[in-house]
Structure 1
Amino acid sequence: MKKLILTTLLLTGIFISMVAQRIEPNYDESKVPVYELPPLLVSAKGKQIKSIKQWESIRRPEILEMFSSQMFGKTPGSPFTTSYEVVSVDANALDGKATCKQLRISFSNGNTVRSMLMLIYLPNHIKGKVPLFFAYNFDGNQTVSTDSGILFSNHTSENKRGLKVRRWPIEMIISKGYGVATACYHDIFYDEKDKHAESILPLLGYDPGQSLEGDSWQAIGAWAWGMSRAMDYFETDSRIDAKRIALMGHSRHGKAALWAGAQDQRFAIVISNESGCGGAALSKRAYGETVAVITNSFPHWFCPDFSRFANNEQSLPFDQHELIALIAPRPVYVASAVDDRWADPKGEYLSAFHAGEVYRLYGYEGLPSEEMPALNTPVISRVGYHIRTGVHDVTDFDWQCYLNFADKWMK
């Protein structure tokens, strides 16, 4: 019931916003505008990109800069220090199947301190270093388990304990020989438009009294930054194989995961679960959620300049197939749900398909056809994809596909 109420409130808010702007979502393929995707392997100066060296030295930096300056914002380079405090260790979690560790990761610039509370489960039946999945949660670490010992940040509450257990099949992940770690994304940037001063932005030079520049970093950029800080920790943990970290994100977290994976090449696998507009879905299709809707409903997610493309997607000098291509040659997986039309499953698939051009440059197979696969039939080439039955969610089927994908590329 709580989930239904929260989902209803969110959708009602978006609907009211759309009505105010007289925006009606397009769910008709015949009304998708004619569009032309920016070429992946042609430089800004018109040079054909024919080698890995040219991609990595010329075209990849160009695409990275476009997303940085015109969509997600430029990541600040301000100095900060990091410290790790182990809060608790339970070597007999999940009836002895796992070790559960909780730690607080703190960031300081000498004046401002922010922290992220991380929850980690590691399989006890694996000796030595283990590969691991990392993903944010939406409402606090206590939502992924009913364990009363799991702590949570002060922006959430006890009554949410166990609320999202069904999205986190921790025992299934552990049984396959993988660890799983999570942190609440609110610890990095509380997901409301007026929370900049409470986020990690002041730590990195943001002055709450100043207006944001057009290419200023906001929430998605900050969440991606937090994912990389989690990776910093994994590199210090003797039980975790930091060279085999799979980064997974659902919905808005999927947008952040793609951006984190594009910037930080330490992530071995990047997984987008129904990330939609601003994530895996092609913007130029203007299907379901559009740039106009997302920048109006969530103005704090992207850099301010991204709103220039509201109702003007055809003028975008980039599109999301290029974001996915930035992850190459590392394995990437995009997942959709057939009833999640808002996230544009076809647009997500086409984005992943067209990114395959860069994977082929590296000698890997992308998705085999421009036609989407059948329902519940995953493709696990170097670019993975599935569309399952159901709605916008994370299910056991999704996780089983991700585990199989990781088995293929990380073991």
Structure 2
Amino acid sequence: MKPLTCFVCCFFILSMSPLLSQTNYDESKVPSFEVPDPLMTFKGKKIKTVKKWEKTRRPELFHFFENNVYGKIPKTLKIDSYTILEQDDNAFNGKAKRKQVELSFKNNGKTLRYTILLYLPKNKVKAPVFLGYNFYGNHTITEDKAVFISSAWANNNESFGIENNTLTEVSRGKRTNRWAVEKILDAGYGLATIYYGEVDPDKNDFTDGIHSLLYQQDQNHPKPDEWGSIAAWSWGMVRAVDYFEKDPDIDASKVIAFGHSRLGKTSLWAGVMDKRFAGVISNDSGCGGAAMSKRKFGETLAVINDRFPHWFCDNFNEYNENEEALPVDQHQLLALIAPRPLYVASAQEDQWADPRGEFLSAHYATQVYHLYDKEGIETMEMPKVNEPIHNTVSYHIRTGKHDVTDYDWENYIKWANAYVK
């Protein structure tokens, strides 16, 4: 999340912060550190087989990330009901079936609803699907006038015409550049997207999203080891898969979790939480996503926890300016997705998200994929810009800034065709 492109803050104000003024963009100033071995247990035992990985090492890594980074979900909460609000079998210039499906959840006398916008290839039965959140409402990803405008809270954005935290018609189609819907449909895939603010508004307030449905009596904030917003958004993606298993037009065994920036962190954690995701894509996810924390390059744990205290669980604050104390790093998070296909992508101008740290995470995670006889990022030498490495674990760095482009989607589709089976 490069400051110039972050939608909730102003670079000129944040650059006055002592933490940000110390931001390192010099590779020679990256501290030396030991890369935690994903195949060495916390007790020092080497993992050599898939069985030991799945029985011993994977669970202990998962529980560390769950209790100390993203936060655990207090209890199970399934879909109470779903409603197809609208559908059209001749959408998107006749190429797609469009559905708008509302999922409802009830607990503690409260109800939460969010809407999935689906575009599915018109002439395909049981379509595979890319699932990802959007930042400003389902109506922003398309010019389609039939797509509903969410009434959920939104961050103000003058260029999108968003004032008083309210989404309006002015912002329709403002993010079509990030969603290559036609390319996705032409390749035989569907696209499912959700406005993330309907699951949990992106602000430091745990009273108005999904959290409050799972509070104990007199609780108004998650416990130190309980879920922050990233885990809440990940939960929403998992529940969407529950719905896909009921939809005859979707191949629920081929759902690919996609996310950009903070929602790339989200797609990674969703892919770790639920093995039903057939593949996972992290686009410019940076700190707390694919980038290695111990490098202290670009955005750091102290900065992200200070600016966005609601994203992670409170226990994660223990490692602010104390990354060396972390017994794990983000390559081990990526390893938890094995043996399922994983794509990590970076942008050349997005130094805030530490492209090299993202690349190295994919490289160091690869040794776990080797247990399953899968190939990944086999070298520590970064590829040239716009020269992707495609394996079960894939990586590219493209020209440009913190964004999602047609180039990204073209590579994700090519990778999915080859590895998501």
TM-score exceeds 0.5: yes
SS in structure 1 opposite 2:65?
helix
| Conserved? CA contact 1:338–1:388, under 8 Å | yes
| Conserved? CA contact 2:20–2:303, under 8 Å | no
Q: How does 1:2-81 map to 2 (within 5 A)?
A: 7=5, 10-12=8-10, 15-16=13-14, 19-21=17-19, 23-81=21-79
Q: Give the CA RMSD over aligned residues.
A: 1.7
2:156 is matched with none
Residue 97 of structure 1 pairs with residue 108 of structure 2: no
Structure 2 unmatched ranges of 5 or more: 153-166
Distance (Å, rounded) in 2 between the aligned partners of 1:206 and 1:217: 14
Give the counterpart letter for 2:195 in structure 1: C
Distance (Å, rounded) in 2 between the aligned partners of 1:302 and 1:207: 23
Q: CA deviation at 1:12?
A: 1.9
Distance (Å, rounded) in 2 between the aligned partners of 1:89 and 1:26: 49
Q: CA deviation at 1:80?
A: 4.7
SS in structure 2 opposite 1:96?
coil
Give the counterpart letter for 1:99 in structure 2: K
Distance (Å, rounded) in 2 between the aligned partners of 1:278 and 1:119: 27
Distance (Å, rounded) in 1 between the aligned partners of 2:91 and 2:79: 32
Residue 346 of structure 1 pairs with residue 344 of structure 2: no
Q: CA deviation at 1:368?
A: 2.1
| Conserved? CA contact 2:212–2:220, under 8 Å | no
Q: 2:373 aligns with which of 363, 366, 380?
A: 363
Q: CA deviation at 1:356?
A: 0.2
1:375 is matched with 385
Give the counterpart letter for 1:164 in structure 2: R
| Conserved? CA contact 1:123–1:177, under 8 Å | yes
Q: Deviations over 1:248-274 (max 9, x none)?
A: 000000001101101100000000000
> Quick one: structure 1 residues 208 and 278, their matched pair in 2 at CA, closer, same or farther if it must change by over 3 Å?
farther
Q: 1:393 aligns with which of 380, 398, 403?
A: 403
Distance (Å, rounded) in 2 between the aligned partners of 1:100 and 1:258: 27
| Conserved? CA contact 1:14–1:297, under 8 Å | no
1:275 is matched with 285
Distance (Å, rounded) in 1 between the aligned partners of 2:114 and 2:16: 34
Q: Deviations over 1:126-150 (max 9, x none)?
A: 2x21111011000000001111110
Distance (Å, rounded) in 2 between the aligned partners of 1:8 and 1:299: 15
Q: Deviations over 1:113-132 (max 9, x none)?
A: 00111100011132x21111
Give the counterpart letter for 1:96 in structure 2: G
Q: CA deviation at 1:110?
A: 5.7
| Conserved? CA contact 1:221–1:259, under 8 Å | yes
Q: Across the two proteins, how many residue pairs are aligned to each other?
A: 405
1:409 is matched with 419
> Quick one: structure 1 residues 80 and 408, their matched pair in 2 at CA, closer, same or farther if it must change by over 3 Å?
closer
2:143 is matched with 146
Residue 335 of structure 1 pairs with residue 350 of structure 2: no
> Quick one: structure 1 residues 227 and 388, their matched pair in 2 at CA, closer, same or farther if it must change by over 3 Å?
same
More helix by share: 1
So what's the TM-score if we normalise by structure 1?
0.95
Structure 1 unmatched ranges of 5 or more: none
Residue 162 of structure 1 pairs with residue 187 of structure 2: no
Distance (Å, rounded) in 1 between the aligned partners of 2:314 and 2:405: 34
SS in structure 1 opposite 2:207?
helix
SS in structure 2 opposite 1:42?
coil
Q: Deviations over 1:356-389 (max 9, x none)?
A: 0100011111112110011101111110000000
- Sequence identity, in percent? 48
Distance (Å, rounded) in 2 between the aligned partners of 1:129 and 1:212: 39
Q: 1:171 aligns with which of 173, 179, 182?
A: 182
Distance (Å, rounded) in 2 between the aligned partners of 1:209 and 1:60: 31
Residue 183 of structure 1 pairs with residue 227 of structure 2: no
Distance (Å, rounded) in 1 between the aligned partners of 2:378 and 2:121: 35
SS in structure 2 opposite 1:381?
coil
Give the counterpart letter for 1:147 in structure 2: D
Distance (Å, rounded) in 2 between the aligned partners of 1:119 and 1:76: 28
Distance (Å, rounded) in 2 between the aligned partners of 1:228 and 1:135: 11
So what's the TM-score if we normalise by structure 2?
0.93
| Conserved? CA contact 2:211–2:222, under 8 Å | no
Give the counterpart letter for 1:257 in structure 2: S
Give the counterpart letter for 2:180 in structure 1: P
2:229 is matched with 219
Q: How does 1:232-311 map to 2 (within 5 A)?
A: 232-311=242-321
Q: CA deviation at 1:11?
A: 4.7
Distance (Å, rounded) in 1 between the aligned partners of 2:11 and 2:109: 37
> Quick one: structure 1 residues 351 and 313, their matched pair in 2 at CA, closer, same or farther if it must change by over 3 Å?
same
Distance (Å, rounded) in 1 between the aligned partners of 2:335 and 2:130: 21
| Conserved? CA contact 1:202–1:208, under 8 Å | no
